[in-house]
Structure 1
Amino acid sequence: MTMTGLDVFDTTVQNTIPWVNELCNKLGWENKHKVFQALRATLHALRDRLTIEEASHLGAQLPILLGGFYYENWRPGAAPIKDRTKDAFLQHIRDYFRTSDPNIDAETVVRAVFKLLSERVTRGEITDVINMMPPTLRELWPEEVRA
């Protein structure tokens, strides 16, 4: 039995659910809506600091459904955001949750999402993304992918 009656939709939902479930486990959260919002906010913050080419390469490795949310409200003609400090980058996540959960631990969220990405996206792509980041932001990625 299909959920939507369209195989392509059912398949992308089935391909996305493990990402959300794994992030639930990494964060220790049960609220899948909140977990999905954390994933979305972090992907947007990351995407907006990458070049158009690098953002596109990363987006191509996401499940179709996540890719749609990844590209949501993207302005490829805008210059990449140049967050130079960890706190400036984390502030994007805090801002996203300002009204729904102002006490969110943005660093925990980002580290969990970056860990998920490092497990689900090719090592070469993650290396390219990390190399585009200043050293203070690279430390948010798992040590094993920074080496």
Structure 2
Amino acid sequence: MSALGLRIFDKSVQDANVWLDEVMEQLGWDDKQRAYRLLRSTLHVLRDRIQLNENVQFAAQLPTLVRGIFYEGWQPSRPCTDQKRAADFIASVEAAFDTDPNADPEAAVRAAFAVIALHVSAGEIEDVKSSLPPGIRALWPAS
């Protein structure tokens, strides 16, 4: 073990910071905590909307720390939410910002999806998108 710690842990933190930096860049933010809150909330709302098998396949492509965030608090025995409208999805993500709402919550969700799409294979993103209703699917960047 190096003096700095285990390489896999260091790499995991580095990867998560890249994702957060990209969220901040997409939105012109300078607050990493806020970017974390957006990414975490988006991942959780997405997780709770898609089926178990798709969740597992999607999560397998996430960096270790981001995968942990994705699975945090997950109850796989609970049925998926039945959100069909983009507005409901966005409102669920925005609930994490109850004390400091986003000026444009839809743009925030789109930015989080754009960053996810940069790091997860196009095929997996297409699988996730195809499991979503058209309104929510439209929040993802074009293939």
The reply on whether 1:59 has 2:59 as its aligned counterpart is yes
Matched residue, 1:132: 131
Residue segments in structure 2 that go unaligned for 5+ positions in a row: none
Deviation at 1:105, TM superposition (A): 2.4
Matched residue, 1:14: 14
Contact 2:44–2:70 (8 Å) recurs in 1: yes
Partners of 1:69 and 1:10 in 2: CA distance: 16
DSSP-derived class of the 2:49 partner? coil
Contact 1:49–1:83 (8 Å) recurs in 2: yes
Q: Please tell me the residue identity of whatever aligns with 1:25.
A: E
Q: Please tell me the residue identity of whatever aligns with 1:5.
A: G
Q: Which moved more, 1:116-125 or 1:103-112?
A: 103-112
Q: Please tell me the residue identity of whatever aligns with 1:15.
A: D
DSSP-derived class of the 2:77 partner? coil
Q: Give the percent of matched residue pairs that are identical in Structure 1 and Structure 2.
A: 39
Q: 1:69 to 1:104 in 2, by over 3 A?
A: farther
Alignment deviations for residues 19-53 of structure 1 (CA, whole Å, 9 cap, x no partner): 11111100110001100110000010101001111
Matched residue, 1:41: 41
Name which structure has the greater RCO, CA cutoff 8 Å, separation 6+.
Answer: 2
Contact 2:102–2:108 (8 Å) recurs in 1: no
Alignment deviations for residues 58-87 of structure 1 (CA, whole Å, 9 cap, x no partner): 111111011111100001011111101111
Partners of 1:3 and 1:27 in 2: CA distance: 36
What is the TM-score normalised by the length of structure 1? 0.91
Matched residue, 1:97: 97
Contact 1:94–1:106 (8 Å) recurs in 2: yes
Deviation at 1:17, TM superposition (A): 1.6
Contact 1:94–1:104 (8 Å) recurs in 2: no
Contact 1:27–1:109 (8 Å) recurs in 2: yes
Runs of 4+ in structure 1 off by over 3 angstroms are: none
Q: 1:71 to 1:104 in 2, by over 3 A?
A: farther
Q: Please tell me the residue identity of whatever aligns with 1:26.
A: Q
What is the TM-score normalised by the length of structure 2? 0.93
Q: 1:37 to 1:122 in 2, by over 3 A?
A: same
Q: Please tell me the residue identity of whatever aligns with 1:119.
A: L
Matched residue, 2:73: 73
Q: 1:4 to 1:80 in 2, by over 3 A?
A: farther
